[in-house]
Amino acid sequence: MGVYAGVVYPAYLAVCALLLLAGGATLIWVNLHPWLKRVVTVMWIVTGVHAVTVVAVLLGDSEAGIVLTLGYLLASVLLLPLLGIGRLGEPENAAFDPDPNRPVLAPDQIARVDGGVAIIIAIAGAVLAWRVFEILAA
């Protein structure tokens, strides 16, 4: 629990804050979209480390509720595919779908969608990590 509470949990919250800032900046300046993609990659990595560490703590001498902890952990992992959802509006991806009503987004619209989703995922990820921390600390 010491490594989780001292290193992994603060790092996860720091990356959530960075994702929040990058998402907000991308909403304002769409030219920062490539930087947001890099932060999204870091979020994937840190979430993987977070998940492995929580499972290791649960398998150790923790008396935390396994079902509730794994539920929150699974929710934090399942949020990640939503990051970069704007790519579904790219013309190449729309060509694979024969639906004539499927929207094709402009590059600035894709950046703004990704920025907005990044803000939402950053807040949700931080809340879920906080709940996992509270359960493990109890």
pLDDT tens, 36-64? 999 999 999 999 999 999 999 888 877 87
Cβ atoms of 43 and 125 within 8 Å: the answer is yes
In angstroms, rounded to a whole number, what is the distance separating the alpha carbons of residues 28 and 94? 26
| Tally of domains within the chain | 1
In angstroms, rounded to a whole number, what is the distance separating the alpha carbons of residues 100 and 119? 30
Residue holding tokens 């001498």?
A: 61
Cβ atoms of 64 and 138 within 8 Å: the answer is yes
**Average pLDDT, stretch 59-79?**
88
Report whether pLDDT(94) > 70.
no
**Average pLDDT, stretch 117-138?**
94
In angstroms, rounded to a whole number, what is the distance separating the alpha carbons of residues 106 and 30? 11
In this prediction, residue 77 carries a pLDDT of 94
- Write out the residue range of the structural domain in which residue 71 sits: 2-137
